[in-house]
Structure 1
Amino acid sequence: MQTEILPELLATAEGREADEILRSCVHCGFCTATCPTYQLLGDELDGPRGRIYQIKSVLEGQTPTRVTQRHLDRCLTCRSCETTCPSGVRYARLLDIGRHLVEARVRRPLAERLLRRALVLTLPHPRRARWLLGLARFAAPLLPSGLRAKIPRAQTVGSIPPPLGRRRMLVLGGCVQSAATPATNAAAARILDRFGIDLVEVPEAGCCGALAYHLDAREEGLGAMRRNIDAWWPEIDSGCEAILVNASGCGAMVKEYGEVLAGDPEYAAKAARVAELARDPAEILAGIEDLSALGPPGSGPRIAFHAPCSLQHGQGIRLVVESILSRFGYVLTQVPDAHLCCGSSGTYSMTQPELSRRLRDDKIAALTSESPARIATANIGCQLHLASGARVPVVHWLELLDPERIRPERACGE
C-alpha cells in the first residue's frame, strides 16, 4: 500500500512504524472473512481493511471525526485478522497508533469519558476491584437479573503450597483475576508444586497495564508495566526461570513489554527480558511429558474449550490446551467458528455492550452445541463474560487439572 504520511508524523518513531505497517498491507481483504464485527455489521468500515484505510487517511492529514472514532472503537483487537493475513500486517499495533491519534483530536461525549476514566481508576487496582466486587455481591439481590448475572460468585481458594527452594517461577497476580477468580493462580501453584516448581507472587506487582494502555490512558498503562518490571527484577536477577501469566490477555501484553517500552532507555532492556521470560501455563505444561503426578488420566467429562483470542491470535498458541486436556482424559467437543471472539476483549463488554452481548450469545451457542458438562477457557475476561450468559459452569482450564479438586469432580461422574 502506497502512503503519503505527513512529514511531522514521519519524523516520529510511531509515524515511521505506522508507515512500515501500512506498506506491508496489500489490501487483499482476506481479513474481513474472519473479523467478528464485520461478520455482525457487514460494513467495510467495521472490518480491518476499512479501519486500516481510516487510520491511513488520518496519518496523511485527513481530520478524524466522531464517526472515525466509533469505527475504531468497535474493533475488538481480537487479532483474528493477523492470523488470517498472508502479508503479516501488524494490525493491532497500527490500531494502537491510530486510536491514539484520533483520541487526541476527537473529544468524546461526557458519558464515554466518565466511563472510561472510571474503568481506569478501578479495575487495574486489585484492592479497588475487590472492594467494588464485594459491594456488587452485597447489592446483588437488589439488582436487575441481567446485571446480577455478571457478578462472579466467590471462589474457595484452598491451600497454596509454600516455596521450598526448588525451581522457581514468578506469577502475575493480576488485578481483576486476583479479585474475581483467585482459584486460578492457586490451582497453578498446586499443579506446578507436583512437578517441583515453586510459584512466587511478588505483592508489589499488579495489573499488566493493558487495560489503561488500550483505553488510551497510556502513561498509566506504561507506569503499571514499569512497576511490574521493578517488582520482578530482583527475582529475575536471582534466577527465576519464567514469569507465568495465567490470563492469556495479560500474557499477550507482558510478551509485548519489550516492544511497547523499546523507546524507554531506562526500561527497554529489562522490558525485553521480561517479555522473553513470560509464559502461558500451556507452554509450561506442554513441555512436561508425563502428567501423572497430577493423578491418573481417566474418563473425564465432556468439555468445550473456548480458546481466547489473546491466546490463539495474540500469542499464537493454538490447540495446545486442548491437547493437554485430552492427555488428561477429558473429552473435547467440537466448537464451530472457534476462531471468533466471545465479545469480552478487555473492557469491550462495558464500552460496547450491545455488540459484546451478541458475540457472547453466538459464542455460547457454539460452545454448547454438543452439550458439554463445562466450558473451559484461558482468560479471566472470557471466563466472566461467558459465565454471565451460559447455563453450564465456566472455569479456567487449570482448574480441571488441579490435584486438590480433580478427584471429587470425577467421582461425581460428570
Structure 2
Amino acid sequence: MQTSLAAFIKDSAVGQEAEAILRTCVHCGFCTATCPTYQLLGDELDGPRGRIYLIKNLLEGGEAGARTRLHLDRCLSCRSCETTCPSAVDYHRLLDIGREVLEARSPRPLADRTRRHVLRETLARGGVFASALTLARWAKPLLPASVASKIPPRDTSVPAWPARGTSARRMLVLAGCVQPHLTPRTNRAAARVFARLGIELFEAPGAGCCGAVRYHLDAPAAARDDMRRLIDCWWPWVARDEVEAIVVTASGCAAHVKEYGKILAGDPAYAAKAARVAALARDVSEVLADEREALAALLAEARRAMPASVPARVRRIAFHSPCTLQHGQKLGGVVESLLLAAGYELSPVADSHLCCGSSGAYSLLQPALSTRLRADKLAALSVGGPELIATANVGCQNHLAAAATIPVHHWVELLAEVICP
C-alpha cells in the first residue's frame, strides 16, 4: 500500500511504525471473511481493510471526525483478521495508533468522554469496582433487564487458596482488577491445580489492573502508568529470579502483558523491565501444557481413586476460545487438548474463530452489536447439547453467562474438579 503521511506524524517513531504496517497490506480482502462486524453489517468500512483505509487517510491528514470514529469504535480488536492475513499485517497495533491520533486531532464529545472516563476509573480500580458491584447487586431488582443481566450473584462458596507448601517451584499470578470480584474461583482453581503439580502460585500484594482497560479506552498514558505500577509490584521476585513465570488466567490480560516490552520500549526507566516481564508472562494454558506428563499422572491417579461401583461419567462441554487466546496469543487448540486429556467431551462449535461480543468494555459501549454477536455465539455453542460452557477470559465468561441457559465456567475450574478432590 502506497503512503504519503502528513507532516505532523511522518518523521515520528510512531509514524514510521504506522507506515511500515500500512505498506504490508496488499488489499487482498481475506480479512473481511473472518471479521465479525463486517459479517454483521456488510459495510466495507466495518471490516479491517476499510478501517485500514480510514486510518491511512487520517495519518495522511484527511478526515478526522465522526465517520472515522464510528467505524474504528465498532472494531472489536478481536484480531481474527490477523490470523487470516497472508501478509501478517499488524492490524491491532495500527488500530491503536489510529485511535490515538484520532483522539488527539478530534476529541470525542463531552458525554462520550465522560462515559469512557467513568468506565476506566471503575473497571481498572479493583476497590472501586468491588464497591460498585456490591451496590449494583443490591439495586439489581430496580435496574433495566439489559443491565441487571450483567450483574452476577455473589459466589458464597469460593474454595480456599491452598496452603503454602515446601515446593521450590514458584510462579506469580496476576490478580487483575475485575476478575477477583466477578469470578473469584478462577485463580484459586489454578492455584489448587498448580499445588498438585508441586508449584506454588501466588499473587503479589497490590498488583491490580494490567493496563488493558485504560489502554483500550482512550487513555494510553494512564495505561502505561498501570503497567509500570504492576511491574513494580512484581519486580522484587523477578529481579531475584525467584519465579519461573508470571501466570495469567485471563487471556485478555495475558495478551496485553505479553506486549509490555513493545508498549514501553521507549521508556528508558522501564523498557528493560517491561521486556523481562513480557518474556516471563504466560497464559495459564501454556504452563499447564508444558506440565502434560505430570498432569497425566494426576489424572490417572484420580481415575484410580474413583470407586469401582461408581460408573465413570463423561461431561459434555462446549469451549469458547476467546479472541485474545486464539488470535492474540495464537494458542488455539491448547485448552481443548487439556480438557480432552482430563476426560471431558467437547461438543462441536461452528465458526469458533468469531468473537462473542465481550471484548473488554465493548459490550457496554456497543450493546446492540455485542448482543447480536453473543446470540450467534451462544447458538453455536449450544448445537451439540453441552452441559456447560467453558472459556478462558473473565469478560467472555461474564458476557456469555448473562444470557446463557447453562452454566459458564473458566476452563481451569473444570481441570481442578478432576484432579483436586
Q: Does 1:296 align with 2:302?
A: yes
Report the Cα offset of residue 80 of structure 1: 0.1
Does the CA-based 8 Å contact 2:32-2:38 persist in structure 1?
Answer: yes
Measured against aligned partners, the alpha-carbon deviations of 1:295-343 in whole angstroms (never above 9, x if no partner) come to 5355431000000000000000010100000001000000000000000
Separation in 2, partners of 1:219, 1:15 = 18
C-alpha displacement of 1:406: 6.6
Please say if 1:312 is aligned against 2:326.
Answer: yes
CA distance in 2, matches of 1:290, 1:228: 31
Match of 1:13 in 2: 13
Q: Secondary structure of the equivalent of 1:136?
A: helix
Contact 1:252–1:310 (CA<8 Å) still a contact in 2?
Answer: yes
Structure 2 CA distance for aligned equivalents of residues 3 and 174 of structure 1? 40
Which shows bigger deviation, 284-293 or 84-93? 284-293
Q: Is contact 2:298-2:419 (8 Å) kept?
A: no
Paired residue for 2:99?
99
Contact 1:400/1:406, CA 8 A, preserved across alignment: no
1:172 to 168, 174, 190: 174
* 1:351 counterpart (335, 360, 365): 365
Please list, as runs of the form range in 1=range in 2, the aligned pairs for 1:66-77 lying within 5 A after superposition: 66-77=66-77
Q: 1:105-184 maps to which residues of 2 (within 5 A)?
A: 105-155=105-155, 156-166=157-167, 167-184=169-186
Aligned to 1:246: 249
Residue type at the aligned position of 1:44: E
Aligned length: 407
C-alpha distance in 1 between matches for 2:216 and 2:327? 17
SS in 2 for 1:253: helix
Q: Which amino acid aligns with 1:233?
A: W
Q: 2:320 touches 2:389 (CA, 8 Å); kept in 1?
A: yes
The structure 2 residue matched to 1:277, chosen from 269, 276, 280, is 280
Q: CA deviation at 1:141?
A: 2.1
User: Quick one: structure 1 residues 280 and 333, their matched pair in 2 at CA, closer, same or farther if it must change by over 3 Å?
Assistant: same
Structure 2 residue matching 1:296: 3-state secondary structure:
helix
Deviation at 1:287, TM superposition (A): 1.2
Separation (CA, whole Å) in 2 of partners of 1:405 and 1:355:
39
CA deviation profile, 1:5-37 (whole Å, cap 9, x unmatched): 123312211100000000111110000000000
More displaced stretch, 322-331 vs 236-245: 236-245
Unaligned runs of 5+ in 1: 408-414
Question: What displacement does 1:125 show?
Answer: 0.7
Shift of residue 354, structure 1, vs aligned partner: 0.4
Q: CA contact under 8 A between 2:322 and 2:391: conserved in structure 1?
A: yes
Helix, strand or coil for the counterpart of 2:158? Answer: coil
Residue in 2 aligned with 1:211?
213
User: Displacement, 1:405?
Assistant: 8.8
- In 2, are the aligned partners of 1:31 and 1:84 still within 8 Å (CA)? yes
Tell me the SS of whatever aligns to 1:340.
coil
Offset, 1:115 = 1.1
| Superposition deviation, residue 65 in structure 1 | 1.3
What one-letter code is carried by the residue in structure 1 that aligns with 2:298?
A: A
TM-score by length of 1: 0.96
Q: Which consecutive unaligned segments of at least 5 residues does structure 2 have?
A: 304-311
> What code does the residue aligned with 1:188 have?
A
Residue 120 of structure 1 deviates from its aligned partner by: 0.8
Q: CA deviation at 1:140?
A: 1.4
